[in-house]
A and B are shown apart, each in its own frame.
Chain A
Amino acid sequence: MAEPTPSTENEPVAVASRIPSTDLLGVYRMMVTSRVVDERCLTLQRQGRIGFYVPMQGQEAAQVACAWALSPEDWIFPAYRELGVALTRGIPLKLLLDQFIGNAGDAMKGRQMPNHYGYRAFRFVTASSPVGTQIVQAVGTAMAARRKGEPIVTVTFFGDGTTSSNDFHSGLNFAGVVQAPTIFFCQNNQWAISLPREKQTRSETLAAKGVAYGVPGVVVDGTDVHAVYAAVVQARERALAGGGPTLIEAQVYRLGPHSTSDDPRRYRSDAELNQWKAKDPIARLKSELLADGQLTEEADRDLWESTKSEVSKALAAAEAMPPVDPRTMFDDVFARLSPQLEEQRLSFEELPSPNPVRT
C-alpha cells in the first residue's frame, strides 16, 4: 500500500506527492532521533530515573512524515505516544526530558505523567490520558481559527482503539457538519494494549468510519514516509481550500510494549512481532537513502552515534535541574489562588515535617 488508498468511491486518488528529495535526510534524522530517545527512555525507566514511559517504536515514519507535511502554524492535538511529532515540531529534547523527569524545568510543573506534555509556543496542545478527548477539541480550534481568518489546519492524533471512543465519533460528526479544517490522524498500530485491531471493530478499515460522517477516509502504509506525507499534504490542501476534514488511517505496528507497565508477551506472538520488525520504517527509509546515494553505512553509523551523544548531553542537563518547588502544587488551578487554596497552601507550608521534596 504505497499509495494512499481511497476508502470511498467518490474520493479522488491522491496525487502522489513525495517528500522532496532534499528533505529526506532530515526526515530520516528525526526518525533516528525518535528511536534513540525512545530506547534511552525505556532504559531510564528500568533504571528508575523516570517513573514511566510510553514508547513509540515502529511509528516513526507515520509521525515524522505527518508532522513534516504540516506548517508550524498548524495546531497539533496529540495523544500520549507522539514523540516523533513533538521532535519534528521542533520541541527541544531537553524540554521533553525535563517533563519525563518532572523537574523544575518541566513546563507542566511536574504535574503530569511522562509523555503527557504540551508547549503553547509550538502549538502542541497538552495531552491528557483519557483517550479521544483531544479529537473534538481539535475541531473546536479549527472552527475558531477559521472564524479568525487564520489559514491553518488542526491535526489530532489517536490510535486504533480510540476509534471506538465517544469523542472520535462526536469529533468526526461535528467536523463533517461544519466542514472543519481538521485532519484526523489515526495510527493503527494494531493493538490497544492487549486488544487486537479485529476485536476493536468489525469495520473493514478504520478509515471507513469517516464515510457515514461525510468525511473522506484514507488508508496509508504508515511505514512509508512518502505515502503518509502525500496523504497529509492532500488532506491539508483540501482543508485549507474549504473542503473539510479528512480521516487518515496510517497502518503501523507498535514494536514495543504499550507502556513500561505492559508485557506484550501475554497477548501477542513473537512471530507477529518479527514480521513487523522486518518492516521497520527506519530500515525502509535507510535503504532508500542508501540506494539514491544520500547516505552511506558509515554516515549512518555516525548519525546514530552523534544522536546518542546529543541525547546524553540533553539528559545530563535535564538531570541537573532542581526538583519542582512543592509550593507550586497550588498554582494554576485557577487564574488566581482562591481563598480556599491559599489556606491549603499555608497549612501545607506550616506542616511540622519537612515538605516532601523529590530527589
Chain B
Amino acid sequence: MTELTLVQAVNRGLFEAMRSDPDVLVLGEDVGVNGGVFRATEGLLKEFGEERVIDTPLSETGIVGAAIGMALYGLKPVAEIQFVDFIYPAFDQIVSELAKFRYRSGGQYPCHVVIRSPYGGGIKGGLYHSQSPEAYFAHTSGLKVIVPSNPADAKGLLLTAIHDEDPVLFLEPKRIYRAVTGEVPDGDHRVPFGLASTVREGSDVSVFAYGAMVHVAAQAVDALATEGIHAELIDLRSLVPLDEKALLASVEKTGRAVIVHEAPRFCGFGAELAAIIAEKALYSLKAPVVRVTGYDTPFPYALEHLYLPNMERVAHAIRKTAQAA
C-alpha cells in the first residue's frame, strides 16, 4: 500500500501495465517529454522510450484512429485525450469505428483501445475544460465507460481496462486529481468492471453518484446523518457495464433514490438510472426519484460553483426525498 493522489495512482497504473506487458503503449498530446499536462504520464518516456510513449501531432481523430490501427494489429494502446472537452474531433473514430469494430466484423476484429481523459468541472475551466460527456459514450453500444472516484479505484480500474478485451473510455475526475489521496495497493491491483461500491451504508435513501460527485454526495450524506437521516451512498464506478443489481438492491431496501451527476440533466446518465428503477423497482418506491445534476446549459465559467451540484443541493434533495410521504 502506498498513499497516493488520484493522478499518481493513474500514473502507477500505467507504469505497472507497461512493465508487465511490452504491448502496452501510450500516445497522446504532450504525454512524452512533458509527462502530460496533468503529469499522468510523467516518467514513462524515460523508462519506456519514444516507441512506447508517443507524443502525437495535435489531432484527436489521429490519436484515436492510430490507436485503433495499433489495437487491430494486437498492441494495447492507451490513448490520452488531453481534456475530454476535445474528444469530439475523435467522436467519429470512437463511435463509428472503435465501438463497432468487433460487431461489424462479426467478431473478427476485436478493437481494444483504452482512452483516458480528464473530465468534469470545478477547476475554473469554463465551457471547454469542464464537461462531463459520459452520456454520449454510454449511449454507444460496444464501448465501456468507467469513472473512478478515488486513487485505489483509479489504479485498479485502469489496470482492468488495459487488460480487458473491449474498448474502454476511462474518465478521470480532474477536479480531484490531487485533492483526494488514499491508500493504493502496490503491484497489479485490479478492480473488476460492473461492480458498484457502497461508500456509506444506510436505510433511508439511496444516493447514486460517480467521479468527483461521490465526494460531494458523501459530505451531504455525512451531514444528514447528524440529522438522523441515514442515506446509503453508492459509487457506480462503472457506467457501462452497469451494476444494475446494486442499483436495484439499494432502492428495494430504501424505497427512495437520489441520483447525482455533474453533467446536464436532460438525457444524462441519471435518466437511464431513473428509467431502470422505474422499470424494475417501481413498486419499492416510496417517493419520486430525484436527480441533482448540472443545469441544461453549457458549462458557465464564473458560475461553476452554482452550476455544479454541491453539498447543500445534494443534502436538500436527500432530505426532501427522505421526508416525502
Contact = CB atoms under 8 A, between A and B. Distances in A.
Interface in B61-95: 61-62, 64-75, 77, 89, 92-93
B219 interface: no
A332 B166 contact: no
Contact of A128 (B67, B74, B96, B244): B96
B104 A111 contact: yes
A338 B102 CA distance: 15
B101 A126 contact: yes
Tell me the dominant secondary structure on chain B's binding face.
Answer: mixed
A170 B29 CA distance: 14
Contacts of A135: 65
Contact of B107 (A77, A173, A332, A339): A332
A137 B59 CA distance: 13
B110 to A, nearest CB: 7
A218 to B, nearest CB: 23
B241 interface: yes
A120 interface: yes
B108 A141 contact: no
A334 B103 CA distance: 8
B69 A137 contact: yes
A338 B144 CA distance: 10
Contacts of A107: 105-106, 108
Interface residues of B, number: 48
Contact of B57 (A120, A147, A173): A173
Nearest to A140: B69
Interface residues of A, number: 48
A95 to B, nearest CB: 11
Contacts of B144: 334
Given A141-B72, A143-B70, A133 B92 contact: yes
Contact of B104 (A75, A126, A140, A173): A126
A286 interface: no
Given A133-B96, A144-B69, A118 B108 contact: yes
A111 to B, nearest CB: 6
B100 interface: yes
Given A128-B96, A148-B73, A340-B244, A335 B62 contact: no
Contact of A170 (B62, B70, B77): B62
B108 A119 contact: yes
Contact of A140 (B66, B89, B100, B102): B66
Contact of B242 (A75, A154, A332, A340): A340
Nearest to B111: A137
Interface in B153-182: 164-166
Interface in A76-117: 77, 106-109, 111-112, 116
A16 B182 CA distance: 66
Given A137-B97, A141-B70, A335 B165 contact: yes
B142 interface: yes
B165 A136 contact: no
B60 to A, nearest CB: 9
A216 interface: no
A170 B108 contact: no
Contact of A145 (B73, B96, B102): B73
A333 interface: yes
Contacts of A129: 96
24 contacts: A107-B108, A111-B106, A118-B109, A119-B108, A126-B109, A130-B92, A130-B97, A133-B96, A136-B61, A136-B66, A137-B72, A140-B67, A140-B70, A143-B66, A148-B75, A167-B62, A167-B65, A178-B54, A332-B103, A332-B105, A333-B103, A335-B164, A335-B165, A339-B244
Closest 10 pairs between A and B when the two form their complex, measured CB to CB:
A140-B69, A136-B65, A140-B66, A144-B73, A170-B62, A335-B165, A141-B69, A126-B105, A137-B69, A109-B106
Interface of A: 75, 77, 106-109, 111-112, 116, 118-120, 125-126, 128-130, 133, 135-145, 147-148, 154, 166-167, 170-171, 173-174, 177-178, 331-335, 338-340
Given A128-B104, A136-B66, 14 more contacts: A111-B103, A111-B104, A130-B97, A136-B61, A137-B65, A139-B66, A140-B65, A140-B73, A174-B66, A177-B57, A331-B107, A332-B102, A334-B241, A339-B244
